[in-house]
Amino acid sequence: MEPLDSANRPRLLVVDDEAALRDVLARYFVHNNFDVRAAADAGQARALIATAVPDLVLVDVNMPGESGLSLARWLRETHPRVGLVMLTGAADAVDRIVGLEVGADDYVTKPFETRELLARLRNLLRRLSPGPATPPPANPRRARFGLCELDLDARRLLRCDDGSEVPVSATEFDLLALFARHPNRPLNRDQIMSHGHNRSWDALDRSIDLRVMRLRRKIEPNPDKPRVLKTVRSVGYMYVPDGE
């Protein structure tokens, strides 16, 4: 299943209990220049990740035994820089919400178009890519977010008190970077969603609210009374640099 020369190909792990779907996705992504491995359950996925950490993981939410959500939570805690996309049923809104809460970068509902899934993964891969190696700047671009500081060049969120890294997903980093570029300016959900996912927001999509809530837990001294990522009623959210 793996290509002969996979050194320069993005590494994708497909985790789904449906053998036919695993085979279709593996063949499709190998054809599109991915280095693909596949797992039938969370246990196999953990074993494969132990041998080589992938760049992207595509996880089905509903699997027998350990659920995809549990695997996603473990993956986000242990490998925060890995791109994570969840596969959910069309009617499983609760699973999509929980998936975003545990730190998934994106979700795709079944049934789906493989071309759309490919576009989503390539878009996420671009956001994860550090780009060509360059000497570190003399004055790194940084933005203060409450208890933390965002290093825009290194794509890291650091605690101000001890400098330790706070794990954030690619989507969470992009959201903070978007706020950092627009301080003290209210951003509506459509602007945020279009920036992060190249798609329009609808009234039933809570992904932005869930990600803001997740970020508040990491940066706000009191997440229940946010001062850095403020809610602007009937509009969206606003980053207040002096809110800390």
Residues 6+ apart with CB under 8 A from 37: 1, 2, 11, 12, 13, 14, 48, 54
Identity of residue 216? R
Residue count of the chain, please give it.
244
Note whether 190 and 218 are within 8 A (CB): no
Worst-scoring range by mean pLDDT, 103-117, 122-136, 168-182? 122-136
Residues 6+ apart with CB under 8 A from 89: 61, 62, 95, 109, 110
pTM of the model: 0.65
Which residue in the block uniquely carries the two structure tokens 């549990």?
70
Tokens matching residue 69 = 């959500």
Identity of residue 18? E
End-to-end CA distance of the chain: 51
Query: Per-residue confidence at 140, pLDDT binned at 50, 70, 90?
Result: low
Between the ranges 45-54, 73-82, 107-116, 161-170, where is the mean pLDDT highest?
A: 45-54
Tokens matching residue 181 = 């570029």
Task: Provide mean pLDDT across the span 105-130.
Answer: 86
Give residue-wise pLDDT tens across range 25-84.
Answer: 999 999 999 999 999 999 999 999 999 999 999 999 889 899 998 999 899 888 988 999
Instruction: Please state whether beta strands 56-60 and 35-39 pair in parallel, antiparallel, or not at all (unpaired).
Output: unpaired
Note whether 1 and 29 are within 8 A (CB): no
Note whether 100 and 207 are within 8 A (CB): yes
Q: For the chain, what is the HEC assignment?
A: CCCCCCCCCCEEEEECCCHHHHHHHHHHHHHCCCEEEEECCHHHHHHHHHHCCCCEEEEECCCCCCCHHHHHHHHHHHCCCCEEEEEEECCCHHHHHHHHHCCCCEEEEECCCHHHHHHHHHHHHHHHCCCCCCCCCCCCCEEEECCEEEECCCCEEEECCCCCEECCCHHHHHHHHHHHHCCCCCEEHHHHHHHHHCCCCCCCCCHHHHHHHHHHHHHCCCCCCCCCEEEECCCEEEECHHHC
